[in-house]
Structure 1
């Protein structure tokens, strides 16, 4: 497939494929014009378009916190909004990848906070030392297809037992557990797991993605910085390699922050993430592996060993504060 464009009269027309790389006469004015491969021509035009778009963006004044331009979440309840699901919200992210000849597919439902996934994710992440055993029991029951599990709350302090019992009641109230009741005399909590796929995925590891998303949303909202974000972003490279990014933020329209969340083993994936970071062209400080159960010293040691940044959930916002 080929085309020609006359620089003299502006005429554009298709041409036979065998004429690619040669010159022919313009059908409108007779001026000699080159014949291009259509795909190559369109690609060059798009590169120039995105380059001019980026130059224009740099020339525009930065939006203020009260400005209607830019992605601002001022005044929005982060835990109850569908604002992040729109095409307009994702537009800057899509454009950032397009300028690198990378195709992306967004997952709008993965950033819809009108449900309860985000609230429970933050509660779990902020109190994992207390609630981790509950999450572990739910996950074990899911993996083994065991419908029920129990919690020996009498073995805990009174305060901890009450907190876990209240947490499990809330899980049941919001359908994260199918059944839950507390045997006061035996101080025993008995629960039945929820089999709905969305709930299974949440306890299988999605909760940490929600946690990272909400922590970054809060961080940038408090600092009134313009940004876009998404979760479960499918990335397709020119050679058709497909990857999914857990959490992706684009700050000030140009600074990417990519977070991969691991609630289980991560060591076998280090090389994969190293290659992915380099292909995306993201600085090591902005490509973050958020790993559950990782100590602060271990995270710092791994970060110095590899061209990646390792953090645990509680260290996520501290690392962001160093970047921004």
Structure 2
């Protein structure tokens, strides 16, 4: 008989336990960084006037990315178009930071592992499960490489440790991931169904602007309302040198259905088409080329958006 954790066990069982402990250790080390545990969301402070709403909607930044007080140009630009701004629900800065960190990690993994599509396939499955109120059950292909398995189980461990997932388990013999997204956190569920993509594109655009030395203001997910009370949400709006840049992000659905709607948004907001981007997550390059020939605004995917954004700025 052998000893384990102070208990006596049969010799034939000890090797089984040892192998399980070794597997658990490898799973725990599949990602080297430790994510921040997600705090509860903080309700936004109610705005008392139209002007204060516009001010809280914008997150102005200087060329080095630091926050500053230059909001007036952005507010006046909207006012000149007779457009009122209702900001999206504000969260505490610590929570925003966590979501942006996770968006950057997911986006970089999506791009890095483009050839295998392992991250793309998993995120499509997650979106379907959340939309249909199902548990996540992701089955690896029979010929899945050990690299793909490590990549995806590493991401899932990361999401579990940061409490985005309430449950996660990988069945090695079946090559199946079982997981649940936090049921009571609508912000997490929205994030994993597509908001991560908006935040990642915002991160990429800001990084390019910071590197270029340009000062800018930006607005994420505001509701814009016109004089006739028509209203809709804008994904991302930048103001650079008094010129607006509009970005709309789509993770799925019929790509063609987004085109006329986005074109209408550009017209109503008086956005120069060369400074308007419809970014469709992983649309094929051939389809993007066709769209760019037919529509005046720019279309891109997660892979070529940075280059197109840089080209526009130059």
TM-score in terms of structure 2 length: 0.71
Whole-angstrom CA distance in 2 between matches of 1:299 and 1:115: 32
The answer to whether the 8 A contact 2:63-2:216 is kept is no
The residue aligned with 2:189 is 200
Deviation at 1:114, TM superposition (A): 4.0
Q: How does 1:91-170 map to 2 (within 5 A)?
A: 91-107=72-88, 109=90, 112=93, 114-128=96-110, 129-152=117-140, 155-170=143-158
Q: Which runs of 5+ in 1 are unaligned?
A: 1-69, 77-82
Whether the 8 Å contact between 1:110 and 1:230 is mirrored in structure 2 is no
Partner of 1:26: none
* 1:45-96 deviations in Å (ceiling 9; x for gaps): xxxxxxxxxxxxxxxxxxxxxxxxx8415275xxxxxx4xx8x454432221
- Whichever of the two has the greater Rg, that structure is 1
Matches within 5 A, 1:224-303: 224-252=213-241, 254-264=242-252, 265-303=254-292
TM-score relative to the length of structure 1: 0.69
Structure 2 regions of 5+ residues with no counterpart?
1-59, 111-116
Offset of residue 237 of structure 1: 1.3
Instruction: Kindly state the Cα deviation for residue 153 of structure 1 after the two structures are TM-superposed.
Output: 7.1
Pick 1 or 2: higher relative contact order, CA cutoff 8 A, min separation 6.
2
Q: CA RMSD in A?
A: 2.3
How many Å apart are 1:108 and its aligned residue? 6.6
Give a deviation string over 1:206-244, Cα, whole Å, max 9, x none: 111111111111111111210011111211112111121
Matched residues in 2 for 1:266 and 1:90: separation? 34
Partner of 2:6: none
User: Is the strand fraction higher in 1 or 2?
Assistant: 1
Task: Give the number of aligned pairs.
Answer: 245
Provide the C-alpha distance between the structure 2 equivalents of 1:321 and 1:235, rounded to a whole number of angstroms. 27
Question: CA separation of 1:259/1:161 partners in 2, compared to 1, >3 Å: closer, same or farther?
Answer: same
CA distance in 2, matches of 1:300, 1:116: 35
